[in-house]
Amino acid sequence: MNQGALMYSGKAKSIFATDDDKTLLMEFRDDTSAFDGRKTASLTRKGLVNNHFNAFIMQKLEQGGVKTHLLSMVDDTKSLVRHLDMIPVECVVRNIATGSICRRLGVEDGLELEMPTFEFFLKDDELHDPMINEYHIRSFNWASDEEINRMTELTFATNAVLVPLFRDAGIILVDFKLEFGRYDGQLYLGDEFTPDGCRLWDAETREKLDKDRYRQDLGNVVESYEIAARRLGISTV
Ligand code: TMP
Ligand code: ASP
């Protein structure tokens, strides 16, 4: 499949057209950002590590019954994906309270939740990705009731597949963010699943192995992503 025109350039990934308008080429760049793009940097090897990480996780999710946009990895930093019609909503599941939920609700950082919790956010950096509810999604017609239910169901299903996968690698899956899109009348998981969009803590020490290392200037950002990858058995990284 040939790489066509650049269709979209995000904060960490670029999307290119291909010969087939149902297929896109997704490139993971070394760029990173936090705080809605206000803090940026380039981190050597991040694109490569994230492309491998994403392909591994998406494959595990497919095996666990969650349909994803991933078709194949084509080289170290690029993957072919289905061309989804993206829903502009972010779906977050949390197993442990940290990050924005602690600021919003005043709960203790690191608190283990009685049961995983679920939140929707609007994908809009200028508005700082505000938290929204299903009524907002319906009122502004960002998605249908059926799609809202399916996104919720698929996000919890993702948690059920990934919590044990990470646990077996000595890692706690603290929280994560997913984005979905439409393709052939069904919802597919799109975007990415990498340490850029989730929180991963070492099960013993609670050391952070995710983008909080960048957000909080803890250093060894890509090195920590690679520790997580290696523990999961992701090769070539
Ligand atoms: P939060 O604590 O900042 O709300 O983030 C919860 C999880 O979702 C965390 O793993 C980071 C991820 N996330 C993103 O990757 N991008 C986003 O825009 C948001 C709101 C969350
Ligand atoms: N939407 C946020 C940003 O990219 C998420 C983050 O802080 O990672 O700035």
Residue 29, both tokens: 């760049």
Name the residue of 13, 31, 35 to mutate for ligand 2: max ligand atoms within 8 A of Cβ. Answer: 35
Identify the CA nearest to 177 among candidates 114, 104, 231, 101: 101
pLDDT at res. 59: 98
SS (H, E, C) 8-41: EECCCEEEEECCCCCEEEEEECCEEEECCCCEEE
How many angstroms is it from 101 CA to the middle of ligand 1?
10
**If you search the block for the tokens 């059926």, which residue do you land on?**
146
The CA-atom distances, in angstroms, between 190 and each of 91, 151, 206 are: 12, 11, 29
CA–chain centroid gap for 119, Å, is: 14
Classify domain 85-220 at the CATH topology level.
D-amino Acid Aminotransferase; Chain A, domain 1 (3.30.470)
pLDDT at site 236: 64
What 8-state DSSP symbol labels residue 127?
G
Q: Tell me if the pTM is above 0.95.
A: yes
Ligand nearest to the CA of 194: 1
Tell me the ligand closest to 122's alpha carbon.
1
Q: Which ligand is nearest to the CA of 199?
A: 1
Closest CA to 166 of 68, 60, 72: 60
Q: What is the pLDDT of residue 235?
A: 84
Q: Ligand 2 pocket test: pick from 33, 89, 213 the residue with the most ligand atoms within 8 Å of its Cβ.
A: 33
CB 100 within 8 A of CB 204: no
Question: Which CATH architecture does the domain made up of 6-82 adopt?
Answer: 2-Layer Sandwich (3.30)
- Mean pLDDT for back-to-back runs of 10 residues, the chain (237 residues): 94 98 98 95 98 98 98 98 98 98 98 98 97 98 98 98 98 99 98 98 98 98 98 85
d(CA 29, CA 180): 21
Cα 214 to Cα 199: distance, rounded to the nearest angstrom: 12
Query: Domain boundaries in the chain?
Result: 6-82, 85-220
Instruction: Check if 92 has its Cβ closer than 6 Å to any atom of ligand 1.
Output: yes
Residue 144 CA to residue 224 CA, distance in Å, equals 39
Distance 207 CA to ligand 1 centre (A): 18
What is the number of the ligand 2 atom nearest to the C-alpha of 125? 1
